Structure 1
Amino acid sequence: HSTMAKFQVRLFIITFFCLTSALIFLILQLWKNYSTFTNSTNKNDVERVILESSIKIDELITQHEPSTPNPYILMYNGLSTCGSSWFIANLKALSIPNGFTFIHQESRGRKLIKEPYYYTNELLRLSNETPLAKYHDVYFLNFKSYNYSNPIYVNIAREPYDRAEATYTFHRFTCKRENRFCTAFIYEMQDLTFEECLTKWHNATHICGSFFRESMRVFCGHHQVCLDDKMSHIGVQLAKANIARYYTFVGLYEEYQASMLALEELIPTYFAGTASRYSRKTEEGVKAFPDIKTEKIIKEVLKYDYEVYHFIKQRFYQTIGKLGLVGHLKDIHWVP
């Protein structure tokens, strides 16, 4: 009986081990198949989005003529550290003599409009009462997606390195860790200049600020290709297409006076009187790169912003030339 009992115990152990091994093998196979299916599905989804986006880009680029905007709404989705404070003050001051309502709304870091359909409807409702100009520092929103004409879009761009350095300096001296709108790496930044931060964290440049691709995204919008870093090569094309199609004018921070004069010429309904109000004592020039290493880092991490900026710059000087405002430029070498 003792021998039989031992045999039965051994048989049970062997059987249990075999069944357990088989079950584990089956689970692993199922997981492998599921992972393969999921990865394949995700890959197919990404490829589909890219394909659809490419088609959309092609359709936009082939339509060279800008769309006709809604004349009763002006939208300034301002880039930070690009002279927006003066721009806002100017619109506010001009609202009474020019007969429009000015609305000032800050995103506080929320660059995507949560309920775009409601947002567009509310702006249209308000514009039925009186023309309005709105400042809201969010990513471009295409009103055509909701069967409405886009507003008169305007903006001011800035040389990407200048803007990145200015943004870094602003956060470095004003941010506190407990402020949820500030970078989480503020302590790593406080004792370093922008160039020192880039040098120290050259393999993790996000520590020096979350400004990468920001210019591109402001003009690109809410589309997936604008938000996914892996699709930025498509997003930058959509950004340029949006500028060409929907932005009446994008000025330059480095040419602020000429930008204000151009706005008054192009959109007098809102900007009449701007020239007489312009009172900036000096205009900042483009900051030179301190060294080749910094230049290489910046031009790599901001390559999409630079592509958008050069596109804006080319269009800016073409517009200035057509308006006969070349004499008000600082950098006449860029005039075509």
Structure 2
Amino acid sequence: MDTCVSTGDPSWCISEPNGVSSAISFFCGQLSICDDTYKPITNYAALALAKSNIERYYPYVGLLEYIESSLELLEFSYPAIFRGISEFYQTYFKDKPVYRTPAESRYPINNKTRTTLRRLLKLEFELYYFVQKRFIDQYRQIFHRAPRRQDGKVR
């Protein structure tokens, strides 16, 4: 990543051709402002549309770092479809790292690259924090307690 960011167009390094998908693009839809094919979305209109679509069309969006709480909320919200999903996860996947990048695929990046990526992904972070807050609020409203992260922290 350091080499890619420092030797060319850093936005290309985090584009669809390089295997990096945009959550904004996914939730935004099919309009031209939502296209992240070659560059990350830097458009506040696309972010606003993504947030609006989440509120309008997605009653619930789970998060991998809250996988058990996400499954619990799914099971509660849609019991006819997801009854037993939490128990199934506990039985078959609890001790498997389903949400972690394998160590051999992780490479440290320098601070300059980190700063560049944070700047380029600013709107992606904003959407993530929007979804995270919404998830935590929904979970608390239903279960009257905070969801538990996979690292054991409670928020």
Deviation, 1:209, is: 4.3
Greater shift in the superposed pair: 301-310 or 239-248? 301-310
Q: Are residues 251 and 204 of structure 1, via their aligned partners in 2, closer, same or farther at CA, if it must alter by over 3 Å?
A: same
Q: State whether residues 213 and 305 of structure 1, in contact with CA within 8 Å, keep that contact through their aligned partners in structure 2.
A: no
Aligned partner letter, 1:198: V
Distance 1:231 1:293 in 2: 20
Q: Deviations over 1:240-264 (max 9, x none)?
A: 0111111011111111111111111
Considering only CA atoms, is the larger Rg found in Structure 1 or Structure 2? 1
Q: State whether residues 254 and 285 of structure 1, in contact with CA within 8 Å, keep that contact through their aligned partners in structure 2.
A: no
Distance 1:209 1:224 in 2: 16
Alignment correspondent of 1:326: 146
The runs of at least 4 aligned residues of structure 1 exceeding 6 Å deviation read 228-231
Structure showing the higher strand proportion among its residues: 1
Alignment correspondent of 1:214: 22
Q: State whether residues 198 and 208 of structure 1, in contact with CA within 8 Å, keep that contact through their aligned partners in structure 2.
A: no
Alignment correspondent of 1:296: 115
Does residue 1:234 correspond to 2:53, yes or no? no
Aligned partner letter, 2:153: D
Distance 1:225 1:303 in 2: 17
How many residue pairs match? The answer is 138
Alignment correspondent of 1:306: 125
Q: Deviations over 1:197-229 (max 9, x none)?
A: 33444x344146425672101000012322287
Alignment correspondent of 2:63: 252
C-alpha RMSD of matched pairs (Å) = 3.0
User: Does the residue aligned with 2:60 lie in a helix, a strand or coil?
Assistant: strand
Within 5 Å, which residues of 2 pair with 1:142-181?
none
Q: State whether residues 213 and 302 of structure 1, in contact with CA within 8 Å, keep that contact through their aligned partners in structure 2.
A: no
Distance 1:282 1:321 in 2: 27
User: Does the residue aligned with 1:217 lie in a helix, a strand or coil?
Assistant: helix
Aligned partner letter, 1:206: W
Q: State whether residues 73 and 139 of structure 2, in contact with CA within 8 Å, keep that contact through their aligned partners in structure 1.
A: yes
Q: State whether residues 14 and 20 of structure 2, in contact with CA within 8 Å, keep that contact through their aligned partners in structure 1.
A: no
Identical counterparts, % of pairs = 25
Within 5 Å, which residues of 2 pair with 1:73-152?
none
Aligned partner letter, 1:320: Y
Distance 1:225 1:260 in 2: 32
Does residue 1:281 correspond to 2:66, yes or no? no
User: Does the residue aligned with 1:263 lie in a helix, a strand or coil?
Assistant: helix
Normalising by structure 1, what TM-score? 0.36
